[in-house]
Amino acid sequence: MQSDNPFFRRYTPQRNSPNPWRWLAVLVGVFALGYLVYHIPFVHSRLAWRVDSFRSSIAQYFNPPEEAIFAPAEVATRPTAQPSATAQAVVQVTPTATFEPLPPNVMLEGFTFVTQQGRWNYCGPSTLAMALNFWGWGGDRDDIARVVKPGENNPNLDFIARGFKDKNVMPYEMENYVNEHTQFRSLTRLGGDIELLKRLVANGFPVLIEKGYYEADYRNIVDWLGHYLLVTGYDEAQSAFIVQDSWDRFHPGENVSSPYDEFVEGWRSFNYLFMVIYLPDREAELLALLGPWADVEWANRYALETARAETERLSGIDLYFAWFNMGTSHVGLFEYVDAAHAYDYAFQLYAALDDNAQRRPYRMMWYQTGPYWAYYYSGRYQDVINLANTTISVVELEESFYWRGLARQAIGETGNAVSDLRTAVYLNPNFGPGLNMLQQLGVAP
């Protein structure tokens, strides 16, 4: 009850009505302060990748990456799977050397296990470090990454944060690192098989391979990713390779048993690619062990025929990988039109993978750029642009900007081409193809 006493009324505090403008000013002030604090260099360096990750997660929640589908302009029917006479002649070559029977089990020693934990997308540098230190190399994973994975050209970020956007180190980048920055040598081939890997390991050559695997993402959806492993042994009694797996977050990564059938299933998605690091004075020994794989053309042709055979017996996602591998092998043989037709059909198979058991491997173009080569060198520039647009809508990669830039230059869009090429070398300041192209165009990065 309110008193009638005027003194009481005069000095009783009155409740003020809320002032929305004051709260708006406070809110704006908080955001402004947060913006200023965020851009303090040492704060920005530690938080920028988290902000990027959060933005990416939100974007992918509303626009699932597996729903970004590239449709080639030329909708091809299933291309012929019959090998040519030339191909048949090439793949029937047999090794001239005879090899000693292999021991029932081998386990190489003398390397240091290297994890990728504490870094972003580091299986390439970590696995290559293991392969190199087996031969006595004195560096570490960061020495490799500073060359092959320098990260975006942002001086406000530290070394670790800069590498967040770089999702993959390509095999050719690692091969170039070994050949140009160490005293060792490296070679890469397609179309490897189990017996070849066992022969190499049994003779003292660990083998680096690239494979696909499945793991739950931040949405708790099991998706396909690419990964590197180092093969350091095998056990015939277990029908398994012994591998070093730098991704040891959920299981021991050292001396992991990988059954042959599971190993091949994952290896298939990278066209059975393998890399060997070796001492220069053992090159002749290695080439003899490789047999016909010492010849790059033979290896590519063998990979092509392996993929061709698999298109006749596989289904689902494995059939997609087989047709994609056919395209990749054709690219290795400079048969770009045939490659484009194989990729056309692979992308149609990709679009059909829409159930939970056969989820689309939307990261495929993060790791393999063969379709860009095929479409560009077949004169299908708009397909290059459309494929790059589809990939960039999910993640920004220097390779996608580079190839889109080349295609835009080819159709006369020089300004857009330069912009794409500059973005490519911003994302990776050591990206040689982008730097060379900008130099040819006479413009600065």
> Model confidence over 255-310: pLDDT tens digits?
999 999 999 999 999 999 999 999 999 999 999 999 999 999 999 999 999 999 99
Whether pLDDT at 6 is above 70: no
- Does the pLDDT value for residue 58 go beyond 60? no
Instruction: Report d(CA 187, CA 355) in Å as an integer.
Output: 38
Among 87-101, 357-371, 386-400, top mean pLDDT goes to 386-400
The 8-class DSSP code of residue 14 comes to P
Looking at residue 68, what is its pLDDT?
82
Instruction: Supply the mean pLDDT for the chain.
Output: 85
CA distance 199 to 197: 5
Provide mean pLDDT across the span 25-52: 56
Q: Which residue has the tokens 């890469």?
A: 188
Confidence of residue 252 (pLDDT cuts 50, 70, 90): confident
State residue 158 phi and psi, 5-degree precision.
-80, 175
Helix (H) or strand (E) holding 231: strand 222-235
Provide the CATH topology of domain 75-378.
Cathepsin B; Chain A (3.90.70)
Distance in angstroms (rounded) separating the CA atoms of residues 404 and 382: 9
Q: What is the spatial distance between Cα 410 and Cα 414, in angstroms, rounded to a whole number?
A: 8
CA-to-CA distance for 139 and 135, rounded, in angstroms? Answer: 11
Phi-psi region of 255 (alpha: psi -120 to 50; beta: other; left: phi over 0): left
Does residue 321 register a pLDDT over 70?
A: yes
Beta strand extents in 151-206 (DSSP E only): 185-189
- The one-letter amino acid code at 81 reads A
314-336 average pLDDT score? 97
Provide mean pLDDT across the span 81-101.
Answer: 56
Confidence at residue 15, expressed as pLDDT on a 0 to 100 scale: 53
- Average pLDDT (376-403) is 96
117 Rama class: left (phi>0) / alpha (psi -120 to 50) / beta? beta
Give the mean pLDDT of 111-135.
93
Q: Indicate the pLDDT class of residue 69, thresholds 50, 70 and 90.
A: confident
Quick one: pLDDT at residue 118? 87
| Residue 44 confidence (pLDDT) | 46
Most confidently predicted of 85-99, 258-272, 345-359: 258-272
Counting Cβ atoms within 10 Å, is residue 102 exposed (0-12), middle (13-18) or buried (19+)?
Answer: middle
Domain ranges of the chain: 75-378
Name residue 137's amino acid: W
What's residue 41's pLDDT?
53
What is the per-residue pLDDT for 28? 73
Per the document, the length of the chain is 445
d(CA 93, CA 195): 16
> What CA–CA distance (Å, rounded) separates 329 from 343?
11
Residue 37: predicted pLDDT: 53
**28/37 Cα distance (integer angstroms):** 14
Of 96-100, 301-305, 350-354, which range is least confident?
Answer: 96-100
Please compute Rg for the chain using Cα positions. Answer: 27
Give the containing element (helix H, strand E) for 241: strand 240-244
Q: Does residue 170 sit in helix, strand or coil?
A: coil
CA distances from 275 to 67, 145, 210, 397 (A): 33, 18, 9, 23
pTM as predicted: 0.84
Query: Which pLDDT band, with edges at 50, 70 and 90, does 425 fall under?
Result: very high
Rounded-to-integer distance, Cα 50 and Cα 430, Å: 24
Return the pLDDT at 48: 47
Share of the chain above pLDDT 70, in %: 80
How is 81-105 classified by DSSP, letter by letter? Answer: -PPPHHHHHHHT---SS--PPPPSE
| Encoded amino acid at 80, one letter | T
Q: Is 92 left (phi over 0), alpha (psi -120 to 50) or beta?
A: alpha
Q: What is the pLDDT of residue 4?
A: 47
